[in-house]
Structure 1
Amino acid sequence: MIELGKKQTLTVVKTVDFGVYLAEKDDKEGKDSVLLPAKQVPAGTKAGDELTVFIYKDSKDRLIATTREPMLQVGQTAVLKVSQVTRIGAFLNWGLEKDLLLPYHEQTTRMQEGKDVLVALYIDKSQRLCATMKVYHYLSTRTPYVVGDQVKGRVYEISGNFGVFVAVDDKYSALIPAREAAGKYRPGEILDLRVTEVKEDGKMNVTDRQKAYLQIEEDAESVLSVIDEFAGVLPFDDKASPEVIKREFGLSKNAFKRAIGHLLKEGKIEIKERRIYKK
């Protein structure tokens, strides 16, 4: 069976002026054949030859073969560049003559021409090849990484309940848990991360925070800079609500309390009347 969206090795069953027809080896009569246009037919090709091609659809929605190399196949992910934004969606350059459609309902952030986006390739209900930015189910769980490894990951979705979903190497499934997610994140942003857990199913938990003894120093400096913005007097102490702390510092309450404790120990701040003063 000739499969849409995949590379296949097919046999030349018929030669015509405008190309050659290809079919599976057992389909001698070419009942289920596909055209490879003449401009892509290798010189000297004849009936019975085998060619490796990619199957997609032309502008008239007909199956067609190409010897050009697409950047991804059905079920795979890749980073593609936006070539055009239209009223029906964005079109992506994926290495073929006809650009790939990323429909509006499959976008998770606003598109701009020239922007790089992580997408997966799928077949829609109309049997057309389309891209989606909702890549969670397409990412690999066969990670080569272990706890402690430093990796790079691209943010592709942000959830208030679960955390920040990340594609490590644009390929492997990972999550910054909500309790670890500090600061603001943007879809498409590439982060330096550390693997904190590899689960039985192969999915990873990662963090963009440093190891505790290094992170406290960084958090403490961040807290001091915010106190400066409040003219040296923070109008609440370390008993403030987690929501207020997250809003003002991008830190969890525990991380904030550790930073405050560190600053108190170093004599850089003092707490009185439920306020924090910079010394």
Structure 2
Amino acid sequence: MENLLGRIVAGNVTDQNETDYFVQVAGTTFRLAKSEIKKPLRAGATFRGFAYENEDHQMAMTRNAPDAQVDHYGWGTVVRTQRQLGVFVNIGLPDKDIVVSLDDLPDMMELWPQQGDRLLIALREDAKHRLWGVLADTDIYQAIAQPAKANMQNANVTATAYQLKLVGTRVMTDHFELGFIHPSEREREPRLGEELHARVIGVHDDGTLNLSLKPRAYEAIDDDSAMLLAALEHSQAGHLEFSDKSSPAAIKAYFGISKGQFKRAVGHLLKARRISQHDGELWLVQPEESTTETTPDTTD
């Protein structure tokens, strides 16, 4: 059975029952689900498919070969973790998840991939004919990477963390650009395989990106802005009879902050498109709304 599992192989149909065909490859018989086959196979017919051992320890074959194979890399989704073993990854097989060994995962378990995270893996067959997931290394990511465009500065990107180092986190975006996140540009260290929403803070000549996980200054809502937003959210009609023209005394009595603090909070929320200001009132912006705001003077 050497050099069969985790690969696309060809064999001959030798038998069948109500649910499966049986395909023999180099002396090993594999089950092939009839539900996968549109046109019935006759005895002696040649069939090519992906060979593996399923969860019931049966030799199985599928025509729907996953991207991840021996010597071929593909994305898989983490479905569960097992402390003494590693993480289980769904690569698209109907009845088999692939384990990435704990030996290949970060020493700190809190940095292990969690359910829903993505890993780029290939397969390897061990001496006991078990399939394991092999994490793609830096060379693989560089081989499949696409250069970033110069006009990506300040763009929002979605990326997956693939290498965790003390000096920072290396990621690949959904469009295959390579990026780097310095520790100063994150609040916590991302998990391996975690999907991250970042913004571009630098584009290098080699087509790689510097990224930040921190919000833009106007996106980071401070305490005064959060309080003002909460007041609007809890107002009966989604608006309050206050504006940057309101008196300091009225603002202090209602919100407990100075007019200067109030105006800065209003300006912050306007820039973040969380509120609008018109007719002498503040209005809560609903997610589907598209409004044009006027940023108030933020000086006293």
Q: Among residues 24, 43, 46, which one is paired with 2:42 in the alignment?
A: 46
Identity across matched positions, percent? 16
CA displacement, residues 235-276 of structure 1 (integer Å, 9 cap, x when unaligned):
xxxxxxxxxxxxxxxxxxxxxxxxxxxxxxxxx9xxxxxxxx
Q: Using a 3 Å threshold, how does the CA distance of structure 1 residues 20 and 90 change in structure 2: closer, same or farther?
A: same
- Secondary structure in structure 2 of the residue aligned to 1:184: coil
Q: Which residue of 2 aligns with 1:185?
A: 189
Q: Please list, as runs of the form range in 1=range in 2, the aligned pairs for 1:24-39 lying within 5 A after superposition.
A: 32=26, 34-39=28-33
- Output the CA distance in 1 between the equivalents of 2:62 and 2:46: 13
Alignment of 1:217-232 (within 5 A): none
Paired position in structure 2 for 1:15:
14
Question: Contact (CA 8 Å) 1:22, 1:35: kept in 2 or not?
Answer: yes
TM-score, normalisation: structure 1: 0.56
Instruction: Give 1:102's match in structure 2, choosing from 100, 103, 108.
Output: 100
Separation (CA, whole Å) in 1 of partners of 2:213 and 2:55: 48
> Which of these residues, 204, 208, 212, is aligned with residue 204 of structure 1?
208
The equivalences for 1:50-89 within 5 A come to 50-58=46-54, 64-70=60-66, 72-74=68-70, 75-83=72-80, 85=82, 87-89=84-86
CA distance in 2, matches of 1:100, 1:179: 31
Structure 2 letter corresponding to 1:21: V
Contact 1:160 1:178 in 2 (8 A): no
1:164 alignment partner in structure 2: 169
For 1:81, the aligned partner's letter is V
For structure 2, list consecutive stretches of 5 or more residues without a partner in the other structure: 226-298
Extract unaligned runs of 5+ from structure 1.
24-31, 226-267, 269-279
Deviation of the 1:50 alpha carbon: 4.4
Would the alpha carbon gap of residues 177 and 84 (structure 1) be closer, same or farther in structure 2, given more than 3 Å must change? closer
Shift of residue 164, structure 1, vs aligned partner: 1.5
Q: 8 Å contact 1:119–1:135 — kept in the other structure? A: no
Pick closer, same or farther for the CA change 1:86–1:101 going to 2, 3 Å: same
Is this contact kept in 2: 1:153–1:168, CA < 8 A? yes
Offset at residue 160 of structure 1 (A): 2.2
Query: Aligned in 2, Cα 1:176/1:20: closer, same or farther, shift over 3 Å?
Result: same
The letter for the 2-side match of 1:45 is: L
Match of 1:253 in 2: none
Please give the alpha-carbon distance, in whole angstroms, between the structure 2 residues aligned to 1:185 and 1:128. 33
From the superposition, tell whether residues 114 and 47 of structure 1 become closer, same or farther in structure 2 (CA, over 3 Å).
Answer: same
Residue 11 of structure 1 and its aligned partner are, at CA, apart by: 4.7
Letter in 2 for 1:15: T
Give the whole-Å Cα distance in 1 for the aligned partners of 2:165 and 2:124: 26
Which residue of 1 is the match for residue 158 of structure 2? 152
Checking the alignment, whether the CA contact within 8 Å between 2:119 and 2:162 is kept in structure 1 is: yes
Distance in 2 (alpha carbons) for counterparts of 1:52 and 1:190? 38
State the alpha-carbon separation in 2 of the partners of residues 62 and 198 from structure 1.
51
Q: Which residue pairs with 1:141 in the alignment?
A: 144
Segment of structure 1 superposing worse, 183-192 or 104-113:
104-113
Question: Corresponding residue for 1:131?
Answer: 133
Secondary structure of the residue aligned to 2:33 is helix
Q: CA deviation at 1:60?
A: 8.2
Q: 1:33 to 1:174 in 2, by over 3 A?
A: farther
CA contact (8 A) 1:82 1:115 kept: yes
CA distance 1:114–1:16, change in 2 (3 Å): same
Give the Cα separation in 1 of the matches to 2:144 and 2:199: 17
> Aligned-pair distance for 1:44?
1.9
Which residue of 2 is the match for residue 92 of structure 1? 89
